[in-house]
Amino acid sequence: MSMLHLKPLQPFAAEATGIDLREPLTPAQIKAVEEAMDQHAVLVFRDQNLSQTQQIEFAKSLGPLDMGLRKLKGGPHRLEYAELADISNVKVDGEVADRAHAKIVGNVANQLWHSDSSFQKPRAKYSMLSAVTVPVFGGETEFADLRMAWDGLPDWRQRQVEGLRAVHYALHSRFLLGDTQYTEEQRQAIPPASWPLVQTDPRTGRKILFVGIHACEIEGMTLAEGRMLLLDLMEHATQRQFVYQHHWQVGDLVMWDNTSTVHRGRWFDFTERRELRRATTEEVPA
């Protein structure tokens, strides 16, 4: 049986080899992937040219699937499965979107530090992003380790944030970018979710500073003071010593834990085709 082998990548991620994700995983392989995620939070699988069905089946082996913003947006979808997020600048007709298209707004929003589906309960656990077409330059994805961020907080700040809760709202990041053309039904489709700023991973016992761009206020604080604190914490959590930057190659499958990391896409020329697709699992309470 093929077993998982890990090559650490600084400062916390790992390159994973030894498992063909196109084939059904055994219980031992699933356990190995989960344990590797507990340690590294981001795994990079190279040369995994998965079909859409294979990607869905891999995700299903790790938990129930999450629909994310598809619950809110709906509409035409160019992928075979509604559970696959189309992380691309490509329209339903297969053409690259122009600058004013909603797909481009989505690409810009992805450049903000975020945790997938932190705006809902249950939130996302694992995201699995597969590279189909990559631009010649740019379009990297960066990941920041929120466990390292907690460990790096000064004692006074740790004491300040212990016990606080942040409200996460699905459209907060879109509103920041001027994307406000939503009906009242869409605005209410995913109710805001409240999460502790400081969390403990039930599998590892490590503490996590759970921040991200979907967090829009802190319970019990004025809006201005709460947002300033969130900005300060985000600035701390995304310092370069806590960040792994992934340079995409076609066939890459990158998997990350949304409960212990935030991520963002980097700039690329929106006139150049970029196609990735993401499957995501929901967090299952321990």
Burial (CB < 10 A; 0-12, 13-18, 19+), residue 124, is: buried
Residue 58's pLDDT is what?
Answer: 98
Q: How confident is the model at residue 77 (pLDDT cuts 50, 70, 90)?
A: confident
Find the Cα–Cα–Cα–Cα dihedral 225, 218, 263, 185, rounded to 10°. -120
Q: Dump pLDDT digits (tens) for 261-282.
A: 999 999 999 999 999 999 999 9
Contact 138, 198 (CB under 8 A): no
- Read off the pLDDT of residues 126-140 as tens digits, 9 standing for 90 and up: 999 999 999 999 999
Contact 89, 103 (CB under 8 A): yes
**Predicted local confidence at residue 241, as pLDDT:** 98
pLDDT band at residue 207 using 50, 70 and 90 as cut-offs: very high
Q: Are 123 and 259 in contact (CB under 8 A)?
A: yes
Confirm whether pTM is higher than 0.85: yes
Q: Which of 270, 280, 279, 278 is nearest to 107 (CA)?
A: 270
Type of residue found at 188: Q
Tell me what pLDDT residue 71 has.
Answer: 57
Whether 30 and 19 have beta carbons less than 8 Å apart is answered as no
The DSSP 8-state label assigned to residue 80 in this structure reads S
Using the structure block, give the residue that is written with the tokens 């805001």.
Answer: 192
pLDDT at residue 72 is higher than 70: no
pLDDT, residue 102, reads: 86
Predicted pLDDT at 73: 60
Q: How do residues 237-269 score in pLDDT, each as one tens digit?
A: 999 999 999 999 999 999 999 999 999 999 999
pLDDT of 1 > 60? The answer is: no
Under a CB-based contact definition with an 8 Å cutoff, are residues 42 and 244 in contact? Answer: yes
Q: What Rg do the C-alpha atoms of the chain give, in angstroms?
A: 18
d(CA 120, CA 14) in angstroms, rounded, equals 28
pLDDT digits (tens, 9 = 90+) for 92-106: 999 999 998 989 999
The answer, yes or no, to whether residue 215 has pLDDT greater than 90, is yes
**Predicted confidence (pLDDT) per residue in 160-204, tens digit:** 999 999 999 999 999 999 999 899 999 999 999 999 999 999 999
How does pLDDT run across 13-70, given as a tens digit for each residue? Answer: 999 999 999 999 999 999 999 999 999 999 999 999 999 999 999 999 999 999 866 6
The answer to whether residue 153 scores a pLDDT higher than 80 is: yes
